[in-house]
Amino acid sequence: MRLTQFLKQYDTEQKSIEFFRIQRERQGIKCSKCGGVSMHWSGTKTLWHCNGCGYRMGLRKDTVMENSKLPYRIWLTVLYLMLMTKKGYSAKEMQTILGHNRYEPIWLMMHKIRILMGKRDEKYQLDGFVELDEGFFAGHRKKGDKEDGKPFKEIDRNEKVLVAVNKNDHGAKFLKMTVVNSLSKLDVSYEIPKMINKSATVITDGRRCYTPLAQLVENHQIHIIRNKKEVCNTFPWVHIAISNAKKKLKGIHHHVKNQYMQNYLNEFTYRFNRRNFNENIFDRLIIAVLACAWCV
């Protein structure tokens, strides 16, 4: 669905409520209190009544929208813009598009969606032939933010990110980007099993932090890199992904605070992994987003 068509179709709060109700009922409504599945909808109160225990379950309950006071139309529009358009948006731009008078709720909503995007991608591990390397992303940290209980003195710090891409003869398939505390063997060993399946073949450079991969995956290939050109030839997709992610972060969000870096990378990888989805996949993606119980 094109943006203009979408905005026309869901131009009122009532139509947006109806959209979310239909989507949630399609995936099956279950009472949060007793687990019963016999529920009836009360349109005037925007909730379902449980026929078993009488519990009244709001439309936002157990979704990313829980505890939010923002109108459904705003949620639907932001989800559409974040999922279906190629361009990413900063919270400031989104606030302008929506004509909303407050920045903070829009910022918070977008971060909740980014966290959910990360949770969706956490369900999958990369398999087959995987390129793995590290990237350094410029983060921004306010003077006085604390790290290990001590005030942090620097303004800017490079965030270390493990980047893995699995590929086949046609090119890159799926991407994962994970912020790590350090490039130590311990931190790398902890993150790799979450990113890459044990049966994969993984190619890395000779950095010592990757030596535990010999035990973590079936086949670990090490390529000693001698110059910059060799990096691009050996890890082409990882470096394209790093370069594109950096451009996007710098171009759209400018100064990304370190503590939110993973959220922005979640959005980038979520979009990348679904770049070949057709326009009509929107409903499916919305179901995926609504299916995640909000528990942060």
> Pick from 13, 36, 49, 140: which binds Zn ion (CB under 5 A)?
36
The structure tokens 């049966």 sit at: 199
- Whole-angstrom Cα distance, residue 63 to residue 69? 13
- Does residue 71 interact with Zn ion by CB under 5 A? no
- Does residue 50 interact with Zn ion by CB under 5 A? yes
Residue 165 token pair: 């891409």
Binding part of the chain for Zn ion, among 51-59, 65-73, 78-86, 188-196 by CB under 5 A, reads 51-59
Binding part of the chain for Zn ion, among 27-35, 133-141, 211-219, 271-279 by CB under 5 A, reads 27-35
Taking the complex as a whole, the smallest distance from the CB of residue 50 to Zn ion amounts, in Å, to 3
- Whole-angstrom Cα distance, residue 233 to residue 220? 18
Antiparallel, parallel or unpaired: β 219-222 and 201-204: parallel
- Does residue 34 interact with Zn ion by CB under 5 A? yes
Binding part of the chain for Zn ion, among 30-38, 126-134, 150-158, 202-210 by CB under 5 A, reads 30-38
C-beta closer to Zn ion: residue 55 or 282: 55
The structure tokens 């006071």 sit at: 69
C-beta closer to Zn ion: residue 63 or 263: 63
Residues that contact Zn ion, how many (by CB under 5 A): 8
- Does residue 33 interact with Zn ion by CB under 5 A? yes
- Half-sphere CA count of 198, side-chain side, radius 13 A: 2
- Does residue 52 interact with Zn ion by CB under 5 A? yes
- Whole-angstrom Cα distance, residue 132 to residue 178? 11
Query: Under a CB-based contact definition with an 8 Å cutoff, are residues 194 and 122 in contact?
Result: yes
- Whole-angstrom Cα distance, residue 22 to residue 9? 15
- Whole-angstrom Cα distance, residue 232 to residue 211? 21
Binding part of the chain for Zn ion, among 34-42, 193-201, 244-252, 288-296 by CB under 5 A, reads 34-42
DSSP state of 208: G
Of residues 165, 77, 121, the one with CA closest to residue 270: 121
> Pick from 3, 53, 186, 214: which binds Zn ion (CB under 5 A)?
53
C-beta closer to Zn ion: residue 40 or 150: 40
C-beta closer to Zn ion: residue 49 or 111: 49
C-beta closer to Zn ion: residue 37 or 155: 37
Residues that bind Zn ion (CB under 5 A): 31, 33-34, 36, 50, 52-53, 55
